């Protein structure tokens, strides 16, 4: 834009402190699209330099075990928005969750980060100003209204159709208005892909709370639909459309959406969005596919499974008082019966998930005398030691799913089948910015090489004719 080109020139005409003040004042008003556009040439050069210097160097290896084992830990994906450290947990553009809670803009009087602020951080790598986040919220609120035919379509879904299936279908319905798909059909330069992807990203994310709320009210509240809300931030709008007004629940929603947004690129929902998008499928098609992955029991569905387990765990304890000893005894009963303790362990993490920790801190601050919340807290004291003694779990520490369900139940959102939909609203805040970055940086169609078992066997026999010792 003309303003973007004007900024460096104007700054050069000023000296020292005045130039810095000018840039700060200007950048605080710059739109997300302008800030993102400024970043692209720098990122493109950085990647070109890396490829030029190290293009033929080995990044990682893949063992036969890894090939059969879901490609776990194989370093073969580039994903810019977040990085998962086995000990520290997730970092969003280099910021830990506690750091995000500290530096990201919040709602007036609020303590938790605004998800829109995280979206800005993930897309650009910059912490936005309050003004920038307010302007982004205003923009997204304008985009948030669903066409009437989509609302009617969602309300006509069978009530016994799983909410995640409905969510994926609702996102697909919005694809009719994809700017990327229309522009690609008209014919556009590769360097322009990101512009249309950006527009689809913001519109899609802005519409998700309404899609999710329509499903919730239609399925669980006899079709008593709440009016459209687009006067506040997406979390408060979402809560109101679900039918909740407790300010603490709104704060929990801000935290919930933020911590469920992104978790590196190898998990099923992030990888699916990245993979489908690499075929130049538009953001609606890519996100719908991503949500179908999130709906799996080994991915996003885990949070409702944990809640069911906690309820059953408490019921199985009967009239026993909930103490460290009684919880420990019950943990051993579960493990000795051949079952697992869900919500503990993670494919990458080897310490307590910081997403669990921040939810536990929220509970400590806002919730008193809740039996399920107290039980989760006590299990955290007891279960890791039991799992370590049991010896069959590589990581005995809790993950994000161990806590989220009981917090939602506390505030009255008890419909477990809806939990993954909420996870999906949050996950879009991570995977769609990365999809937009992929188009801006010209990332290629993803096409790894596959092998048959026969081919693996033959190549190993040639490489190791006497067996591997």
Cα(218)–Cα(6) distance, integer angstroms: 50
Structural tokens at position 438: 């992929």
- The candidate with the shortest Cα–Cα distance to 36, out of 177, 197, 263, is 197
Assess contact for 299 and 305: CB atoms under 8 A.
Answer: no
* Helices (runs of H) and strands (runs of E) counted in the chain: 22, 3
Q: Count of CB atoms within 10 A of residue 403's CB?
A: 28
Cα dihedral sign, 274-275-281-287: negative
The one catalytic residue among 162, 299, 370, 390: 299
Assess contact for 163 and 219: CB atoms under 8 A.
Answer: yes
Backbone angle region of 82, left / alpha / beta, with phi > 0 → left and psi within -120 to 50 → alpha: beta
Cα(259)–Cα(358) distance, integer angstroms: 9
- Going by the DSSP 8-state scheme, the letter that residue 418 receives in this structure is G
What distances in angstroms separate CA 240 from CA 226, 260, 362, 366, one per listed residue?
8, 20, 21, 20
Residue 339, C-beta contacts closer than 8 angstroms, at least 6 positions apart: none
Cα(183)–Cα(180) distance, integer angstroms: 5
Cα(163)–Cα(241) distance, integer angstroms: 16
Cα(147)–Cα(203) distance, integer angstroms: 12
299 belongs to the catalytic site: yes
Residue 133, C-beta contacts closer than 8 angstroms, at least 6 positions apart: 105, 114, 116, 117, 120
- The sheet carrying 95-96 orders its strands as 82-85, 89-92, 95-96
162 belongs to the catalytic site: no
**Residue 300 burial (10 A CB sphere; 0-12, 13-18, 19+):** buried
The one catalytic residue among 260, 353, 401, 410: 401
Q: Is 210 helix (H, G, I), strand (E, B) or coil?
A: helix
**Residue 363 burial (10 A CB sphere; 0-12, 13-18, 19+):** buried
Q: Count of CB atoms within 10 A of residue 376's CB?
A: 27
Structural tokens at position 32: 């997300």
The one catalytic residue among 346, 366, 403, 410: 346
401 belongs to the catalytic site: yes
Report residue 302 CA to chain centroid gap.
14
Task: Cite the active site residues.
Answer: 299, 346, 401
């Amino acid at each position: 834009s003309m303003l973007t080109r004007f900024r460096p020139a104007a700054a050069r005409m000023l000296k020292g402190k005045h130039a810095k003040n000018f840039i700060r004042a200007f950048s605080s008003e710059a739109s997300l699209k302008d800030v993102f556009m400024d970043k692209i040439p720098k990122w493109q050069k950085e990647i070109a330099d890396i490829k030029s210097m190290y293009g033929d160097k080995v990044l990682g290896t893949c063992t036969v075990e890894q090939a059969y084992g879901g490609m776990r830990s194989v370093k073969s994906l580039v994903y810019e928005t977040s990085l998962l450290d086995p000990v520290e947990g997730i970092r969003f553009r280099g910021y830990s969750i506690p750091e995000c809670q500290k530096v990201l803009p919040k709602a007036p009087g609020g303590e938790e980060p605004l998800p829109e602020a995280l979206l800005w951080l993930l897309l650009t790598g910059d912490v936005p100003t309050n003004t920038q986040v307010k302007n982004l919220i205003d923009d997204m609120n304008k985009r948030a209204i669903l066409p009437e035919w989509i609302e009617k379509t969602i309300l006509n879904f069978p009530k016994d159709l799983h909410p995640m299936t409905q969510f994926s279908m609702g996102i697909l319905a919005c694809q009719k208005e994809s700017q990327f798909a229309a522009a690609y059909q008209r014919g556009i330069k590769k360097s322009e892909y990101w512009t249309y992807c950006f527009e689809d990203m913001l519109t899609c994310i802005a519409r998700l709370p309404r899609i999710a709320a329509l499903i919730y009210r239609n399925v669980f509240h006899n079709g008593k639909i709440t009016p459209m809300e687009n006067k506040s931030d997406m979390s408060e709008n979402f809560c109101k459309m679900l039918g909740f007004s407790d300010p603490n629940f709104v704060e929990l929603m801000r935290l919930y959406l933020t911590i469920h947004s992104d978790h590196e690129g190898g998990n099923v929902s992030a990888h699916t969005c990245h993979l489908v998008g690499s075929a130049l499928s538009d953001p609606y098609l890519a996100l719908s596919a991503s949500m179908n992955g999130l709906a799996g029991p080994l991915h996003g569905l885990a949070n409702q499974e944990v809640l069911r387990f906690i309820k059953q765990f408490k019921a199985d304890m009967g009239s026993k008082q909930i103490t460290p000893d009684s919880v420990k005894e019950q943990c051993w009963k579960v493990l000795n019966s051949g079952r697992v303790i869900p919500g503990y362990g993670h494919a990458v993490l080897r310490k307590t998930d910081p997403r669990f920790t921040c939810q536990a801190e929220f509970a400590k601050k806002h919730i008193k005398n809740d039996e399920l919340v107290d039980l989760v807290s006590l299990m955290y004291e007891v279960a890791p030691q039991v799992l370590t003694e049991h010896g069959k779990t590589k990581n005995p520490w809790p993950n994000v799913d161990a806590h989220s369900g009981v917090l939602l139940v506390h505030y009255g959102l008890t419909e477990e089948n809806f939990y993954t939909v909420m996870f999906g609203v949050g996950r879009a805040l991570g995977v769609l910015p990365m999809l937009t970055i992929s188009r801006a940086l010209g990332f290629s169609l993803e096409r790894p090489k596959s092998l048959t078992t026969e081919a693996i066997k033959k190549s190993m026999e040639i490489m190791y004719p006497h067996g591997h010792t």
